[in-house]
Amino acid sequence: MAAGLASALPTSGAGGVLATSLRRLTPFSVTLWLLLLFVSLGLVVYPLTTALVYEFDAVVAGWGELTSGPLSGALPAVLLNTLVVVTGATVFAIVIGSALAWANERSDASLGFAGQLLPLAALIVPPIAGVIGWAVLLDPRAGLLNHFFQWLLGFIGLELRTGPLDIYTMGGLVIVTGLYTAPYVYLVVSAALQRLDPAVEEASRVSGAGPLKTMVKVTLPAIKPALAAAALLGIISGISLFSVPAVLGAGARIDVISVFIFRLLSEYPAQTGPAIVLAIGLLVLVQMLLIGQHLLVKRGRNAAVSGRGFRGTRVRLGPFRYLVLGLAGLYLLATAVLPLLGLLLVSLQPFWTPVIDLATLTLQNFRFVLFENRETVAALINSMSLGFAVACVNMLLCGALALHFSRNGRARKIADALTGLPATIPHTVIGVAFILAFSREPLRLYGTTAILFLAYLVMTLAYAARAASAAADSIGAELGEASRVSKASDLKTLRRILLPVAAPGLVAGWIMVFVHTVGEVTASAFLSGSNNPVIGRVLLDFWTFGRFPQVAALALVISLISASLVGLMLFITRRAHKATIS
Amino acid sequence: MLVAGMGRNGENDDTNPGFTGATGRAAPSHPMPSHPTPSHPTPDANARDRPEPRVVVRDLTKIYRTRRGDHVALDRVSIEIGAGEFVVLLGPSGCGKTTLLRCIAGLEEPDAGEIVINGKVVYSAERRIFLPPEKRQLNMVFQSYALWPHLSVLENVAYPLRNIGTQGAKAVEAARAALDLVGLDQFVAAYPGQLSGGQQQRVALARAIVSNDGLVLFDEPLSNLDAKVRDRLRIELLGLQERIGFSAVYVTHDQMEALALADRIAVMGIGRIEQVGTPREIYDLPSTRYVADFVGQANEIAGRVASVGSGTVQVETAIGTLTCQAPDPALATGAAVGVLFRPEHCALGRTDAADADNLLSGVVERSLYLGPIVQYVIRCHDETLIVSASGGALIESGTGVSVRLPVARTRVFPREAR
């Protein structure tokens, strides 16, 4: 009956669907699609292809240089170092991040407010500030914490001139990188745990399995895809993470690939060929890992995960509760409190010394970076205005897309795929492609603020899209429908109902994009210069030139800006949450 | 609840004659007769005297195209809703009742057919008309209440008026009056998040009646509420509808709710309307086996038509030959049929039966005490019957009983060949 009826109807089948979709396009939605295509495809494909096409000869030569030429000697060590740092940091982040996520979601050691702060740790303290903070704490000669340890060891008769700890080592590199990767793991794993019905774990418990066996046999297999996704995220961000190896690697004489590529391009003459070859290699590697993950997850039998807002019985940890709480406290201490404290102490001194002399404390460094030095002032203004512009454009675009197409599943899927694409491209690759593509006609943008604007736009698109979708999803479809049957037009519904209700989520997304932009280092290192300075670049330069108290002051300033904006974000989203609970 | 409903409907039989018992299409391949029994005449005869119906739905078809193929949610559905009439769309989940409601509201675009509201064509596939919801002169109450969290209760209720250009003070006054009607006048300044579920649904109700469009659509509005609150709101809703006189189209899967609220119930099968009628017609005189089975409980005994009498048929079954009400359309001798009857229409242990009634004997296998009634599971040859009784002493398991089955209470439907 159904089939007969369907064939009797005028339009049916895929062609009909496509025709209907095309007919429904309005000028508004066409504009949205074009903008999205420009940001996600145009700003990825154009630089990559331009770089490849124009530098093709250099690429061929570069391949030779890397495989058998002058660079072939250094390359194996660089690749090995990268492998060790990325693997080590990812493993470290997965252990810490998923342990804390499990504790917060499933055990009685609920982390409360700290649980909300954890996933934001890398936002509150931009990694570049964090790593500088750790460097001033654990520098083998002048580290503040090392000095404190030396003083402690003095009591048991041990006199040390350096150490006992040294941050400029592979271990330091791995741990600091892992610290700032852990929040992403935490987010992914705790989201998966929230979606996993605790009833499946309770069923295992009443079937006679203990908490540990349940975790190993039921919980872990169920969230395996999430763990794989978290690992991949760790690898992608680890490969392109620039701030940590740039700050620590020089002292440790450890080269990783992102710094190596940067050096190839910043030396004179610039070695574009090898840089492109390596960048393309990174891109291919990441895409292959993504495909691998996709296959792994598709084949898995993890479809039973469903629903949300479950409240299951929590695992009683007993005395281990304090261990977990201690771990969480230690984590926050390590990512935020200690580095910030180190930065504060150094920034208040005229020069970096581990011996704190209260009499010499001064605010001169803050005066210097905030008012006196032309470069830092310009960098602050540039970074803030870029953050503002990028956040506005991306949130407007993604917010309009998410709200406009909230009832159109097909459009949402296409938009999600497009906005997710740039997130799979290492920032190093974006930096290389942008430099090469935008240093020539027709778009000679190198050295301008525009090139930074475009790069930041691509790099934060995924954050903006995710925040906008979350905001749109939190609005039930019926809210808009109720407005329509209350005789409000489409646009009026958007303006009077959907936008105001989604506003807290959109503002939260705006803040996230802003904070990411202001703290960005990788693309900033590649694309910013003395004509278009931004904070990330200036911090690296000052660090290299040894202007430590000024670096500390500037790092502290951007941490303060980030932290207060994140605080505002928490406040807004919590209040909005309260309002919509019925 | 049932009694109250029937009283109301009795009244409606005089003042508000039903409408064309428009059923789903009666395709020749259709196994069931899909017209109401002639003993309850369809009031087509006096249809011309009535004012224009509030809503007319004609041959409405909606197809969802999914990756796994087409799913026909509505299959040429037709129904009319009169002015001031309360029509309930009743059916299992996935039968298309909500889709029908959303098509009337303009929230879904159908694939074929026509919808007329207040004499105005709001959807016509042929004439390529599709008016958006805001141009359709109706209101809707949603399952999730759908109150806007950023607007106060008063602003929520005044919103529809503002959209049709009512001046500020006037809109506020009307909104206050509507809130007064639902008993929430002291909550005007509150925000939806501060109200209980029942209060929120009252606000939604006030918002739906404030612009006085004469048509309110309800999408399972009470299903998120506690049983007690639900019962109270149901009665309030009826009072409100009586006072204001709007037409209501009400979607539910709860048959008690349907029986209690409706002037007419449209029982829906997958994608089509199986039967439209007063609650009494639906319950006592179901026109198809599906309706008899879906609304209320029914015993079903398989058999074959042995002989056709005047107004009755003899059906040969495993528990003996039963005298039954003749089905419409008539069935030939030898046709495979099912005899359906309701547990509460049987009587136990009575021998003073009228000659015409069927008497069955069986053994009580189990008794379920349900408070107002006792349900007996009775084994009768190889069949198991459910018979319910109210009052009287509990009959022990294992006791032999006789079951009286009145001829007028039996329904005979053809059985599908398997």
Q: Is the pLDDT of residue A306 over 50?
A: no
Contacts of A483 (CB under 8 A, 6+ apart): A492, A493, A496, A497, B148, B159
Q: Which token pair is A239? A: 């490969």
ipTM of this complex prediction, to 2 decimal places: 0.77
- Rounded average pLDDT over A27-33: 79
pLDDT for the residue numbered B99: 93
Give which of A18, A474, A486 to mutate to test B binding, by max B Cβ within 10 Å. Answer: A486
Chain B nearest-CA residue for A18: B65
Give the closest-approach CA distance of B6 to chain A in angstroms: 32
Chain-chain contact of B149 with A1 (C-beta, under 8 angstroms): no
- The C-alpha of B253 sits at a distance from chain A's nearest C-alpha, in angstroms, of 19
Residue A537 contacts residue A441 (beta carbons within 8 Å)? no
Please write the tens of the pLDDT for every residue from B228-263: 888 999 999 999 999 988 999 999 999 889 999 999
| pLDDT band with cut points at 50, 70 and 90 for residue A21 | low
Is B81 within 8 Å of B101 (Cβ atoms)?
Answer: no
DSSP-assigned beta bridge partners for residue B247? B215
Tokens of B40: 């309850």
pLDDT attached to residue A13: 43
> With contacts defined as CB-CB under 8 Å, which chain A residues touch B148?
479, 482-483, 497, 501
Q: What is the mean pLDDT of residues B360-381?
A: 89
Q: Residue A104: which residues within 8 A CB-CB, separation 6 or more? A: A110, A111, A115, A118, A190
CB contact under 8 A, A486 and B159: yes
Closest CB to A500 among B132, B139, B150: B150
Query: Does residue B362 have a pLDDT over 60?
Result: yes
**What CA–CA distance (Å, rounded) separates A366 from A474?**
42
What radius of gyration, in Å, describes the C-alpha atoms of chain B? 24
Which chain A residue is nearest to residue B126, measuring alpha carbons? Answer: A10
How many CB pairs below 8 A link A and B? 109
Mean per-residue pLDDT of chain A: 80
φ, ψ at B274 (rounded to 5°): -85, -40
CA end-to-end span of chain A: 44
CB contact under 8 Å between A478 and B211, yes or no, is no
Q: Give the residue with greater pLDDT, B34 vs A387.
A: A387
Q: pLDDT tens, A115-158? A: 777 777 777 888 888 888 888 888 878 888 888 888 888 888 77
Residue type, B291: V
Q: Which of A7-11, A461-465, B236-240 has the weakest average pLDDT?
A: A7-11
Mean pLDDT on A24-43: 80
Identify which of A5, A482, A501 has the shortest CB distance to residue B61.
A5
By C-alpha distance, the chain B residue nearest A482 is B146
Reading the block at residue A392, the tokens are 């506005």
pLDDT of residue A564: 87
List CB contacts (< 8 A) between A1 and chain B.
Answer: 27, 29, 72, 75
Question: Which segment of A251-255, A257-261, A314-318 scores lowest on mean pLDDT?
Answer: A314-318
Alpha carbon distance B77, B162 (integer Å): 35
- The amino acid at residue A449 is T
Highest averaged pLDDT of the listed ranges A465-469, A564-568, B234-238: B234-238
**Bond before A164 cis per omega within 30 degrees:** yes
CA distance A299 to A277: 33
DSSP B106-170: TSS--SEEEEEETTEEEEETTTTEE--GGGS--EEE-TT----TTS-HHHHHHHHHHHTT--HHH
List of chain B residues whose C-beta atoms are within 8 Å of the C-beta of residue A482: 140, 142, 146-148, 204, 207
Residues in chain A within 8 Å Cβ distance of B29: 1
The C-alpha atoms of residue A158 and residue B216 are separated, in whole angstroms, by 85
- Put simply, the answer to whether B142 touches A482 (Cβ < 8 Å) is yes
CA distance B364 to chain A (A): 39
Chain B residues in contact with A486 (beta carbon < 8 A)? 134, 139, 159-160, 163, 207, 211
| Cα–Cα distance measured from residue B401 to residue B395, given in angstroms and rounded to the nearest whole number | 9
**CB-CB under 8 Å, B27 with A485:** no
B215: Cβ contacts below 8 Å, ≥ 6 apart:
B54, B55, B81, B117, B118, B137, B138, B139, B246, B247, B248, B249
What would the DSSP string read from start to end of B263-277? Answer: SEEEEEETTEEEEEE
B353 has a pLDDT exceeding 60? no
Element (H, E) at A291: helix A272-299
Under 8 Å CB-to-CB from B397, ≥6 apart: which residues? Answer: B364, B365, B366, B367
pLDDT digit string, tens, across residues A70-101: 777 788 888 888 899 899 999 998 888 888 88
Does an H or E element contain A414, and which?
helix A409-420
Predicted confidence (pLDDT) at residue A581 exceeds the cutoff of 80:
no
Instruction: Please answer whether residues A449 and A382 qualify as being in contact, where contact means their C-beta atoms are separated by less than 8 angstroms.
Output: yes
Global pTM reads 0.74
* B30-54 exposure pattern, b = at least 16 Cβ within 10 A, e = fewer: eebbbebbeebebbeeeeeeeeebb
Residue B209 has pLDDT above 80, yes or no: yes
Task: Give the containing element (helix H, strand E) for B225.
Answer: none
| Closest residue in chain B to residue A579, using alpha carbons only | B193
With an 8 Å Cβ cutoff, the interface of chain A facing chain B consists of 1-3, 5-6, 9, 11-12, 16-17, 476, 478-479, 481-490, 492, 496-497, 500-501, 578-582
Q: Is the Cβ pair A485, B106 closer than 8 Å?
A: yes
Distance CA A235, CA A178 (A): 10
Confidence of residue A25 (pLDDT cuts 50, 70, 90): low
Please give the pLDDT value at position B117.
Answer: 93
How far apart (Å, rounded) are the C-alpha atoms in residues A279 and A276? Answer: 5
Q: Mean of the pLDDT values across residues B316-324?
A: 89
Tens-place pLDDT, residues B77-106: 999 999 999 999 999 988 899 999 999 999
Scanning the structure block, which residue is given the tokens 């879906």?
B294
DSSP annotation of A107 reads B
Partner residue facing A582 (CB), from B112, B160, B192: B192
Contacts of B215 in chain A (CB under 8 A): none
Would you state the pLDDT for residue B43?
44
Position B335 pLDDT exceeds 50: yes
* pLDDT band, very low/low/confident/very high, at A1 (cuts 50, 70, 90): very low
Respond yes or no on whether the N-terminal peptide bond of residue A269 is cis (omega within 30° of 0). Answer: yes
Task: Find chain A residues with C-beta within 8 A of B270's C-beta.
Answer: none
Interchain CB distance below 8 Å, A5 and B75: yes
Mean pLDDT of all residues in A17-23: 57
Choose among A396, A395, A398, A391: nearest CA to A412.
Answer: A398
Find all residues with CB under 8 Å of A337, minimum gap 6, and list them: none
Cα distances from B97 to residues B88, B256, B367, in angstroms, run 10, 17, 36
Q: What is the mean pLDDT of residues A478-496?
A: 87
Q: Residue B320: its pLDDT value, please?
A: 86
Q: Hey, are the CB atoms on B211 and A487 less than 8 Å from each other? A: yes
> Closest Cα of chain B to A576: distance in Å?
9
Query: Which one of A487, A491, A495, A580 makes the best mutation probe of the B interface by having the most chain B beta carbons within 10 Å?
Result: A487
Dist. CA A185–CA A179, nearest whole Å: 11
Residue of A nearest to B270 (CA): A2
Q: Could you tell me if B322 and B406 are in contact, meaning their C-beta atoms sit under 8 angstroms apart?
A: no
Q: Which of A140-149, A324-333, A567-576, B290-299 has the lowest mean pLDDT?
A: A567-576
Quick check: helix, strand or coil at residue A82? helix
Which chain B residues touch A2 with a CB distance below 8 Å? 70-72, 75, 271
Q: Please choose, from the candidates B223, B231, B290, the residue with its C-alpha nearest in 3D space to the C-alpha of residue B253.
A: B223
Candidates A563, A466, A574; CA nearest to A191 is A466
A171 pLDDT more than 80: yes
Token pair of B165, please? 């250009």
Q: Does the pLDDT of residue A375 top 70, yes or no?
A: yes
pLDDT band at B114 (very low <50, low <70, confident <90, very high): very high
CA distance B68 to chain A (A): 12
Query: CB–CB of B193 and A581 under 8 A?
Result: yes
How close is the nearest chain B Cα to the Cα of A23, in Å? 14
pLDDT of residue A150: 82
List of chain B residues whose C-beta atoms are within 8 Å of the C-beta of residue A506: none
Q: E strands, B37-118, where?
A: 55-66, 69-81, 86-90, 112-117
Is A482–B148 a contact, with Cβ atoms under 8 angstroms apart?
yes
What backbone torsions phi and psi does residue B121 show, to the nearest 5 degrees? -75, 115
Nearest chain B residue to A11 by CA distance is: B111
Q: In what order do the strands lie in the sheet with B120-124?
A: B69-81, B55-66, B112-117, B120-124, B129-130
Contact A579 B150 (CB under 8 A): yes
Which stretches does DSSP call E strand in B258-332? 264-269, 272-277, 299-308, 312-317, 320-325
Contact A485 B144 (CB under 8 A): no
Contact assessment for residue A471 and residue A525, using Cβ atoms and an 8 Å cutoff: no
Task: Give the pLDDT of residue B332.
Answer: 84
Residue B361 to residue B379: CA distance in whole angstroms: 9
Query: Residue A162: pLDDT above 80?
Result: no
Which token pair is B402? 């006789």
Q: What is the mean pLDDT of residues A546-567?
A: 87
Q: What is the pLDDT of residue B87?
A: 95
CB within 8 Å: A482 and B163: no
> What integer is the mean pLDDT of B370-383?
89
Judge: A3–B70 Cβ closer than 8 Å, yes or no: yes
For residue A582, give the nearest of B65, B164, B193 by CB distance. Answer: B193
Q: How far apart are CA B16 and CA B53, in angstroms?
A: 12
**Residue B46: pLDDT band with limits 50, 70, 90:** very low
**Residue B143 Cα, gap to closest chain A Cα (Å):** 9
The number of beta carbons lying within 10 Å of the beta carbon of residue A281 is 15
Number of C-beta neighbours around residue A431 at 10 A: 27
Q: Which residues of A touch B96 (CB under 8 A)?
A: none
> Per DSSP, what are the bridge partners of residue B411?
B340
Number of Cα atoms under 13 Å in the Cβ half of residue A376: 22
Q: What percent of chain A has pLDDT over 70?
A: 90
A491, closest residue in chain B (CA to CA) = B134
Cα dihedral sign, B10-B14-B16-B20? positive
Higher pLDDT, A15 or B74: B74
| Separation between Cα atoms, residue B112 and residue A52, nearest integer Å | 53
Verify whether the Cβ–Cβ distance B159 to A582 is below 8 Å: no
Confidence of residue A274 (pLDDT cuts 50, 70, 90): confident
**What burial letters (b/e) apply to A448-472, b meaning 16+ CB within 10 Å?**
ebebbbbbbbbbbbbbbbbbbbbbb
Q: How confident is the model at residue B49 (pLDDT cuts 50, 70, 90)?
A: low
Contact A12 B72 (CB under 8 A): no
If you average pLDDT over every residue of chain B, what do you get? 83
Q: How many CB atoms lie within 10 A of CB A158?
A: 11
Residue B72: its chain A contacts at CB < 8 A?
1-2, 5-6
Contact residues for A580 (Cβ-Cβ < 8 A; gap 6+): A474, A501, B149, B193
Q: What is the mean pLDDT of residues B203-215?
A: 91
Backbone angles phi, psi at B33, to 5 degrees: -70, 135
Among all residues of chain A, which has the CA nearest to that of B219?
A478
Q: Closest Cα partner for A132 from A519, A533, A565? A: A519
pLDDT in the model for residue B47: 45
pLDDT at B354: 57
What distance in Å separates residue A541's CA from the closest CA in chain B?
A: 48
Select from A302, A313, A328 the least CA-distant residue to A195: A302
